[in-house]
Amino acid sequence: MKRIPSWLIYTVLRLLVFAIPLAVLLLLGIVWWASVIAAALIGLCLSYIFLSKPRNAVSTELYEVRHREKPVPSVDDEVEDAAVDSASAQPAPEATPRSD
Asked, for residue 24, whether it belongs to a domain, the answer is: yes
pTM over 0.85: no
| Residues constituting the chain | 100
Instruction: Say if 33 falls within a structural domain.
Output: yes
Task: Tell me whether residue 84 is in a domain.
Answer: no
Cβ-defined contacts of 60-69 (< 8 Å, 24+): 61/5, 61/6, 61/7
Under-70 pLDDT residues of the chain:
71-75, 89-100
**Number of structural domains in the chain:** 1
pLDDT confidence of residue 85: 77
Q: Is 81 contained in some domain?
A: no
